[in-house]
Structure 1
Amino acid sequence: MITINPYVNFRGNTEEAMLFYKSIFGSDFTLIQRFKDMPGGDKISEEDQQKIMHMSLPMGTTTHLLASDVLESMGQTMDMGTNITLTVVTESEKEADKFFNGLSQEGQVTMAMNKAFWGDYVGMLTDKFGIQWMITHSPNK
């Protein structure tokens, strides 16, 4: 069974937005990671270190609202309307590769499938229709 989760980017106010959504939906965050927690996080400004690299808010039994801040200091950009990515959570690396390879045909790969520092197998792309996708397999879940 695959799951698709919306992943929303914000311009520095992810924590505020996610606390608002938490107040509406009533669940507790399952993960909060700040940019200071990533490898090399100590090399960015103290202000950016406190920004959200990844947050996860359960929305029922299988879906999560995922979010992060966009850091211009790291060369990241964001336009309203293109700040949502569909995240597909797969059951295996093989399935992740299948979806990634299919969706990336005539599209643009942003990050090739690889093992991330937090342990997931993950890749990102924009398909030929302009939809942003993140494909991930979490071996520990």
Structure 2
Amino acid sequence: MKLGATLYIKDTIEAVAFYSEAFGLILGYHEKFPDGTFMHASSLRDGQEIFAVSESHNETLVNLMRSSSLEGSRPTMNYGISFEREEEVKKAYEMLAKGGTALFPLGALPWSSCCAEVVDKYGVYWYITVDPSSQ
């Protein structure tokens, strides 16, 4: 079984490039809407889909996700990305926090030497960490 995750956001062309750089991903299978935004864009790492991105046409929902982080609350769901090295977490954190909101700044927890919680500029809630099994 595999859990599929799709980020429904605005500005998907920019976002796909942003996430590719932040997480070391490449663009996989993709389809575009007539306006050039992504209907579906698979983001891959080591040949496996990590998540997909799709242009949201629901401005109210996008704004709700963005505003929840400003109020200090957490949505009912987040996306977790585990990296093998602290440098990868730090790079992702710097990119995600720029224009976003850090809910738990980069630091350590009992199960991870390096982790953070961030809502990025697209309103997506991320938990990024060093995989405890790689420490």
If the length of structure 1 is used for normalisation, what is the TM-score? 0.41
More strand by share: 2
Name the structure, 1 or 2, with higher relative contact order (CA <8 Å, separation 6+): 1
If the length of structure 2 is used for normalisation, what is the TM-score? 0.42
